[in-house]
Amino acid sequence: MPKSDLVLLALGDEQILQLFDRALAAVSYQVAIARDRAALDKSLQESSPSLVILSQNFDGADELEIAAGMLERFPTLPVLLLLLQDSPKIVKKAIHIGVSDCLYAPLHIEEIMQCVENSIKRADRIGDWNRREVKRTTALLQQRVEELQKLDTIVEHIEDGVIILDEKSNLLLINPAARRAFGLWQDEVVEGKPLNEVLPHPDLKVLLNESIKTPLPHNEITFEDGRVLSAQCTPIPRIGVAITMQDITYLKQIDRLKNEFVHTVSHDLRSPLTAILGYVDLLDRVGPINAQQHEFIIRVQNSVKNITALVNDLLDLGRIEAGFDSQKEVVPLEGIIRYALETLGSQISDKKLNLHLNLPTDIPQMHGNPIRLRQMLDNLIGNAIKYTPEGGDITIDVEAQSDQIILRISDNGPGIPPADQPHIFEKFYRASNVPKGVGGSGLGLAIVKSIVDNHQGRIWVDSLLGQGSAFTVVLPLYKMAVMQPA
């Protein structure tokens, strides 16, 4: 046996002690002797025995109590318990606390050596297994640490702002890009503090509140210096929420320049178009025209009217986006809805559509521009009529919730392809599956979006290809609207 295996003897009987000492030394084990409890504790502290042999009533103490104390301090240390007589009760308790084996009198050298050897080998196997597990766990932890370091490096260096909040809206993480966006010092400790205390930005507060009620794919956070961030709020189970922000100021500037250009060109086109239409109307007054010429004149008139309608839509869009229609009043939404349906009633009848109108008994009043709200409804309901097949269904639902009103217009038309849905509120954009012969300039939904934005509302679409579309508009009620600038 290798001399590195040290056996610690804690035996109260001197004859038995000498027997074990000679037997173990004969097979090259190193032997240490503890004659009392203090010596045992000192030997355990100063040496690293491979095995402890403990006798019953050692130093007048309870051997099971001593064994339990040793195993609590050294869980992998093998302990042999020497019993003066076979006691199933004591053996059961010894096994329960983790003793490796038990020896009984009368003692035989072969039995002692076999028991000692088996206990040390078993301890070695357990030690090897523990070392392998520790090594494997350490490698996994190291890999995890490296992954977390990479993630931390990514979050620290990306240009998009990232804010992580716990379930109580306290800051868990805010990366340098988000700190720069909100003017926080990079070394300022803000983790653990409430978001409203660290970043008291009204748009950020609205983003958190609205994401709980109605999650939206995009929200905007504006600053006094003209910067605009596109923000998304995503719930994280058992943690809280993540807010990601991207600077879209340059996109807003490009969009503003484009709008100014389109508005200028549209305005300059109105006068020549009016002149063309006027002169065309005078052609049949200056002399006779044949049937073919008359047909050509009608085509010119229709083309000029279509261009004029397009120009008018562009000018309307420019006025709305520029904020020229800021005058608002208390509006009965139910009356506007019914008036719009009355105006479009002939189109609904011509296509034999089934209209389902779900209005609450008492719709609260809202604060808005009645002309623009009517234009919004005309466009949304008109689109539903345009794209719903003959005999189809159109549903208009109105619901009031605390400080807002929800308007949903649904149809069972062809639906909108998923790839087109993020772009349908853009100017001049039309879905790729628009049926042939269905006209439009691609400005209707852009006008609707501008009207909704001008009323501090939100709009989105839910659509399944081949099953239909549902446009949802959320507008603030009168009490909330009067607290916000028009």
> Is residue 481 predicted with pLDDT exceeding 50?
no
> Across-strand partners of 234?
242
pLDDT at 1: 42
> Is residue 212 predicted with pLDDT exceeding 80?
no
Residue of higher predicted confidence among 56 and 163: 163
> Is residue 341 predicted with pLDDT exceeding 70?
yes
E strand spans, 359-467: 366-368, 393-401, 404-411, 458-464
- Structural contact between residues 187 and 180, judged by C-beta atoms closer than 8 angstroms: no
Q: State the Cα–Cα distance between residues 157 and 161, nearest whole angstrom.
A: 10
Categorize the per-residue pLDDT at 321 as very low, low, confident or very high, splitting at 50, 70 and 90: low
Give yes or no for a cis peptide into 106 (omega within 30° of 0): yes
Q: Closest Cα to residue 99, out of 168, 45, 51?
A: 51
Cβ contacts of 239 within 8 Å, gap of 6 or more: 164, 166, 167, 172
Give the pairing of strands 79-83 and 101-104. parallel
pLDDT at 484: 43
Give the pairing of strands 30-33 and 6-10. parallel
Instruction: Determine what percent of the chain is predicted with pLDDT higher than 90.
Output: 4
Tell me the CATH number of domain 329-481, given options 3.10.20.80, 3.40.50.300, 3.30.720.210, 3.30.565.10.
3.30.565.10
Complete DSSP assignment for 23-68: HHHHTT-EEEE--SHHHHHHHHHH---SEEEEETTGGGS-HHHHHH
pLDDT at 470: 92
- pTM to 2 decimals? 0.47
Q: Closest Cα to residue 164, out of 178, 153, 154?
A: 178
Which pLDDT tens digit goes with each residue over 267-291? 677 778 778 878 788 887 777 888 8
Instruction: Determine what percent of the chain is predicted with pLDDT higher than 70.
Output: 91
End-to-end CA gap in the chain? 93
**3-class SS of residue 389:** coil
pLDDT at 211: 67
Categorize the per-residue pLDDT at 52 as very low, low, confident or very high, splitting at 50, 70 and 90: very high
Average pLDDT over residues 175-199: 87
Average pLDDT over residues 38-62: 86
Cβ contacts of 413 within 8 Å, gap of 6 or more: 384, 387, 388, 389, 392, 468, 469
The reply to whether domains 6-132 and 251-322 share a CATH topology is no
Which pLDDT tens digit goes with each residue over 102-159? 888 777 888 888 888 888 888 888 888 888 888 898 999 999 888 888 888 888 888 8
Fold entry, domain 158-247 = Beta-Lactamase (3.30.450)
Categorize the per-residue pLDDT at 322 as very low, low, confident or very high, splitting at 50, 70 and 90: low
Q: Closest Cα to residue 425, out of 407, 451, 445?
A: 445
Average pLDDT over residues 13-23: 85
Residue of higher predicted confidence among 364 and 171: 171
Give helix 370-387 / helix 444-454 axis angle, nearest 10°. 140
- Structural contact between residues 458 and 450, judged by C-beta atoms closer than 8 angstroms: no
Q: Where are the domains of the chain?
A: 6-132, 158-247, 251-322, 329-481
Residue of higher predicted confidence among 160 and 436: 160
- Average model confidence (pLDDT) for the chain? 83
Q: State the Cα–Cα distance between residues 453 and 363, nearest whole angstrom.
A: 21
Q: State the Cα–Cα distance between residues 197 and 36, nearest whole angstrom.
A: 64
Give the pairing of strands 329-331 and 240-247. unpaired
Categorize the per-residue pLDDT at 266 as very low, low, confident or very high, splitting at 50, 70 and 90: low
Cβ contacts of 269 within 8 Å, gap of 6 or more: 307, 311
> Is residue 311 predicted with pLDDT exceeding 80?
no
pLDDT at 214: 56
Which pLDDT tens digit goes with each residue over 236-247? 888 888 889 988
Categorize the per-residue pLDDT at 19 as very low, low, confident or very high, splitting at 50, 70 and 90: confident
Fold entry, domain 6-132 = Rossmann fold (3.40.50)
Q: Is 448 exposed, middle or buried (0-12, 13-18, 19+ CB in 10 A)?
A: buried
Categorize the per-residue pLDDT at 473 as very low, low, confident or very high, splitting at 50, 70 and 90: very high
Q: State the Cα–Cα distance between residues 2 and 76, nearest whole angstrom.
A: 20
pLDDT at 409: 92
Average pLDDT over residues 59-67: 85
Q: Does domain 251-322 have CATH number 3.40.190.10?
A: no
pLDDT at 326: 64
> Is residue 485 predicted with pLDDT exceeding 60?
no
Amino acid (1-letter code) at residue 206: V
Q: Which two tokens stand for residue 272?
A: 């020549």
Q: State the Cα–Cα distance between residues 400 and 67, nearest whole angstrom.
A: 73
Which pLDDT tens digit goes with each residue over 415-438? 888 888 888 888 877 887 777 767
